[in-house]
Amino acid sequence: MGEDAGRGLECQKIMDGKGNNGNSSQKAIPSCCLKARASAPELEAKCHSTVVSGWFSESQSSSDKAGKMVYFNNPMWPGEAHSLKVESILYKARSDYQEVLVFESSSYGKVLVLDGIVQLTEKDECAYQEMITHLPLCSIPSPKTVLVVGGGDGGVLAEISRHSSVDHIDICEIDRMVIEVSKKFFPELAAGFEDPRVCLHVGDGPAQELVEKPFFDTLARALRPGGVLCNMAESMWLHTHLIDDMISICREIFKGSVHYAWASVPTYPSGVIGFLICSTEGPAVDFLNPINPIEKLEGAHQHKRELRYYNSEMHKAAFSLPSFLKREVRLLCD
Amino acid sequence: MGEDAGRGLECQKIMDGKGNNGNSSQKAIPSCCLKARASAPELEAKCHSTVVSGWFSESQSSSDKAGKMVYFNNPMWPGEAHSLKVESILYKARSDYQEVLVFESSSYGKVLVLDGIVQLTEKDECAYQEMITHLPLCSIPSPKTVLVVGGGDGGVLAEISRHSSVDHIDICEIDRMVIEVSKKFFPELAAGFEDPRVCLHVGDGPAQELVEKPFFDTLARALRPGGVLCNMAESMWLHTHLIDDMISICREIFKGSVHYAWASVPTYPSGVIGFLICSTEGPAVDFLNPINPIEKLEGAHQHKRELRYYNSEMHKAAFSLPSFLKREVRLLCD
C-alpha cells in the first residue's frame, strides 16, 4: 500500500532504538546489567531493566531506601510472577505512550512486552487472537464490518481476514510504534494490515477506561441491532470482582445476550484469559453454538496461517465455567 | 482411627523439621538468606534454598564456578518459571524419598512443594483433584472399588468420598511424610483418609516409571472389564511428544476407549494439566458424556466440601482440544 511506504520510513527512525530512547536509556540500565556488560560482553544483548540474570519477569522487584522489597509492574498479578528466559533483546524503546520491548525467549519464541506486561508470544498468541476474533465472527451468520480497538500487532486483523463476508475493517491503535515493531518482528501477525479491507486509524481516542460504562455505552450505540462486542475480560482465577462488574455493566447496556468465555494462554496471569461477549437488541445471537462454523467457512482453512487453537468444539467449550466462577459471579449462574 | 495415633507421634519428630534435616540444612542456606537472617530477623521465616528475596520459584537458578548461570529444578518447564510470594515457611524437611516444603503464599494460600515442584496450592488444587476423580467416576454407572496411586495429600480421597456407590478405596503412597504433612497443613484434603472405606498402603512398589508401558500393563490387568484408568498427562502446550507416547502406549494396552482431557491449573507448568482416561475391553464407556452426572448424585453436593471446579459441563468441555494439539498428536485427530 502506497500509504504504508511513507509510514515505514517515518518509523524507521524509531525502530533503531535511538529515536525516543537517547540518553535516558543509559541512565535506566540497572547495576546488575552494567556489571554483566563489564565482565561478559555477550550478555549485553540481554540488558534491560526487566531482565535480571537472563530472565524477564512480569513481577519485578526492587528495594526502597529502607532496603525493603517493593514490588511493582503487573498490578493484575500480585503475589505471583511468570518469568521467561531471554535469549536476546531484539528491540527496546519508549514510544509517546509506553515502553516497548521485544525479546527472543528460550521457549515461547519472540515476545512483545508493553510497559513491562507481556502482550503476546509467538507460541501462545494463537489462543487469544483466534478466540477474540472467531467467538464473535462465528456467532453471526455473515459479518460485514468490524471495528478493532487496540490490537496494533495486527494478529486480530490476520484472523478477521479468514472471513470473506467481511467487507470493511476499521482498526484504532493509539501507538504507531506497536504497529511498526510488529511489522518488523511479527510479520505473520502484521500481515493482517495488508488486507485491503483494513482502514487504520492511529491516534488517541476519548479518554475512557476500556472496561467502564462510558466505553461500553459508546460501543453499544455504534453497533447495528444484533451486533456483537467481544472484549478481553481478565482471569477467572484472579479477578472475579472485575468480571462481576463488567458483566453487570454490560447486562445493563446490551439488551441482547451477555456471556463469559475463557481460553488457556500460558503467558497471561494465571494461564487463562476471559472474554465478555455481548449482543445488542435485535436478531437473537446464540453465542454458545456457532451459527457460522469456521469448518464450513470457505477459505478460512486455506488461509496463509493454520488455525492453531480455535475450532467449533473449542468455541462451545469456552462457555463452560468452573463451579467457583458461577458462585463468585452470580450473574453467571445457570 | 487407633492406628493413626501412633503414626502421628512417630511423625511429630519429623514434623518439627529437625528429624531428617539436621546439619545439612545449615549448609544449604544461600548467602542471600544468611544476609537476611543477620540484618532482618523477621525474614528468617522465609528462609529456604528455593526462596530468594521472599519469592519461591520453581525454576531456580544458581551460578557454577565460572559464574555462568545454571538452571535446575523443574525439568518439565525449561525456559520459564512461575514464582509465588512467600509469607512464611510452615514446614521443611527431607523424607526418605524427597524434600518436603510447605509455605504460606501471598495469593494462593498454603502450598505443598516436593523436590522443588509445586504439588498443590489451596487456591487451585480443586481443578486437578476434582477432575482426576470425577472424570473417571462419573463415566461409569456405579463405581465400586477405587485404587489411588500416589495422592498422599488425601485430596483425591476426599473427592472419591462423594460417591456413595464406592465400597472400597485402596491408596498406595510411597512417602508417609506427605500424609502427615497434609494432615497438619491441609486438613480439608487429608480428611479423605478418615473415610472408613479407605485402606492405606504406605511403601515402595515395583520400580516402574508411572508413564511407561509396564506400569500401564499392570493397571490394565488389575481392572475389571470396562474398568477405567485416569492418569495425569502433562501440559498440552509443552509436552506434546510425551502425550503422543502415552496415548500410543495406552491405545495398545487398553482395548476400550482412550481419551485426552485437560483443565486449567494456574500453578502447574503453562497453567494447564492433562488427563489420559482409558477403559479396558468390556462394557463400552463414553467418557465424553458423563453417564453418572455429579449433579444427580445423591450426597455429592451435600458433602463437607463444595465442588469448586468440576461440573458436568466442565467434564464435557475438558475433551475439547485446540487444533494445534490434534495436529501435533495425530492420535487425537477426529
Q: What's the predicted TM-score (pTM) here?
A: 0.84
By the CB < 8 Å criterion, does A32 face chain B?
no
- Please tell me which residue, A206 or B57, carries the higher pLDDT value: B57
- CB count within 10 Å of CB A20 equals 16
Categorize the per-residue pLDDT at B17 as very low, low, confident or very high, splitting at 50, 70 and 90: very low
Cα distances (angstroms) measured from residue B234 to each of A121, B239, B244, B264, B319: 21, 6, 11, 12, 15
- Please tell me which residue, B63 or B334, carries the higher pLDDT value: B334
> What average pLDDT does range B138-146 have in this prediction?
97
CA distance A285 to A288: 9
Confidence (pLDDT) at B38: 33
**Helix and strand numbers, DSSP H then E, in chain B:** 11, 14
**B83 min Cα distance to partner chain A (Å):** 5
In the predicted model, what is the mean pLDDT of chain A?
83
By the CB < 8 Å criterion, does A184 face chain B?
no
Residues of B in contact with A317 (CB under 8 A): 316-318, 320
Q: Using a pLDDT cut of 90, give the percent of chain B over it.
A: 67
- Please tell me which residue, A9 or B167, carries the higher pLDDT value: B167
Tell if the CB–CB gap between B83 and A57 is shorter than 8 Å: yes
For chains A and B, what is the number of CB pairs under 8 angstroms?
149
> Of B55, B237, B320, which is closest to A313 when you measure between CB atoms?
B320
Tell me the pLDDT tens digit for each residue of A227-254.
999 999 999 999 999 999 999 999 999 9
- Please tell me which residue, B297 or B29, carries the higher pLDDT value: B297
- B3 has a pLDDT exceeding 90: no
Tell if the CB–CB gap between A314 and B324 is shorter than 8 Å: no
Pull the grid cell for residue B166: 464406592
- Domain count of chain B? 1
> What average pLDDT does range B116-123 have in this prediction?
95
- B200 has a pLDDT exceeding 50: yes
**Torsion angles phi and psi, residue A234, rounded to 5:** 60, -175
By the CB < 8 Å criterion, does B310 face chain A?
yes
| Residue B302 lies in domain | 124-332
Question: Looking at A146-150, B9-13, B59-63, B223-227, which range is the least confident one?
Answer: B9-13
Tell if the CB–CB gap between A53 and B67 is shorter than 8 Å: no
> What are the strands, taking DSSP E only, across A174-295?
198-202, 228-232, 258-264, 272-279
Q: Which of A33, A130, A264, A309 best probes binding to B when mutated, by most B CB atoms within 10 angstroms?
A: A264
> Would residue A110 count as lying in a domain?
no
Interface of B with A in 104-163 (CB under 8 A): 105-108, 123-124, 126-127
> Would residue A57 count as lying in a domain?
no
What CATH number does the domain containing B175 carry? 3.40.50.150
Is B329 in a helix, a strand, or coil?
coil
Q: Which of A60, A265, A324, A333 best probes binding to B when mutated, by most B CB atoms within 10 angstroms?
A: A324
> Of B81, B84, B127, which is closest to A79 when you measure between CB atoms?
B84
> Would residue B43 count as lying in a domain?
no
Whether ipTM exceeds 0.90: no
Pull the grid cell for residue A128: 487469544
Q: Which residues pair with A261 in a beta bridge?
A: A275
Tell me the pLDDT tens digit for each residue of B18-59.
333 333 333 333 333 333 333 333 344 456 777 777 788 875
> Would residue B102 count as lying in a domain?
no
By the CB < 8 Å criterion, does A313 face chain B?
yes
**B308 min Cα distance to partner chain A (Å):** 5
Tell if the CB–CB gap between A264 and B237 is shorter than 8 Å: yes
> Would residue A195 count as lying in a domain?
yes
> Would residue B209 count as lying in a domain?
yes
> Would residue B266 count as lying in a domain?
yes
By the CB < 8 Å criterion, does A62 face chain B?
no
- B110 has a pLDDT exceeding 70: yes
Confidence (pLDDT) at B316: 98
Tell me the pLDDT tens digit for each residue of A32-91.
333 333 333 334 446 677 777 788 887 544 434 444 433 333 456 788 888 999 999 999
- A169 has a pLDDT exceeding 70: yes
B187 CB-near residues (< 8 Å, 6+ apart)? none
Tell if the CB–CB gap between A317 and B316 is shorter than 8 Å: yes
In the predicted model, what is the mean pLDDT of chain B?
83
Q: Which residues pair with A114 in a beta bridge?
A: A100, A117
Categorize the per-residue pLDDT at A112 as very low, low, confident or very high, splitting at 50, 70 and 90: very high
Burial B52-72 (b: 16+ CB within 10 A, else e): bbbbbbbbbbeeeeeeeeebe
